[in-house]
Amino acid sequence: MYKHILVPMALDHGIAETTMQIARALLADGGKITALHVHEAPNNSVSAYVDKSVIEEAFARSQTEMKERVSAMEGVEALTVKGHSGRTILDAAASLGTDCIVIGSHKPGLIDYLLGSTAARVVQHAPCAVHVARYPA
């Protein structure tokens, strides 16, 4: 059983309920679950053409949506941060002192074989245990 579990959630995917169920099953009595959404801002070449206020509004909407999604989940804390998903999940796990990450993964497509998936990066570099929940493509 784990004391602090990190559950990365992509707001545009509907897989969070299953990963939350897994996290609850792995959680020790009195443990804590942190639901993490990584907001990936446009890269530099795109952001040069987008007003900064639009980027900040998008981040604020992500924070609000994350809090709303998690509000019905008892004992789950919402956290939204900016960054690259794979690297930011690893950084959050280290800084929060989590002892397990429960992450969803889809069946890899061709692009994943070329670039690697977020779940694969997390598994390879995580500072703690990782439980991967596989989902259909």
DSSP letters, 40-54, are -PPPHHHHTTS-HHH
pLDDT of 107 reads 64
SS3 at position 66: helix
Nearest to 92 by CA among 59, 56, 122: 122
Q: Give the Cα separation of 29 and 85 in Å (integer).
A: 29
Q: Which stretches of 40-97 are assigned E, i.e. beta strand?
A: 76-82
Q: Please, which pLDDT band fits residue 97 given cuts at 50, 70 and 90? A: very high
Any idea which residue has 């694969």 for tokens? Answer: 120
- Is the pLDDT score of 100 beyond 90? yes
Q: Give the Cα separation of 37 and 65 in Å (integer).
A: 10
pLDDT of 14 reads 67
Q: Please, which pLDDT band fits residue 41 given cuts at 50, 70 and 90? A: confident
Tell me the mean pLDDT in the region 13-34: 90
Domain ranges of the chain: 2-135
Tell me the mean pLDDT in the region 28-53: 84
State the average pLDDT for the chain. 86
Strands lying side by side in the sheet with 2-8: 76-82, 27-39, 2-8, 100-106, 129-135
pLDDT of 49 reads 73
Tell me the mean pLDDT in the region 44-57: 76
Domain covering 2-135 in this structure, CATH number: 3.40.50.620
pLDDT of 5 reads 98
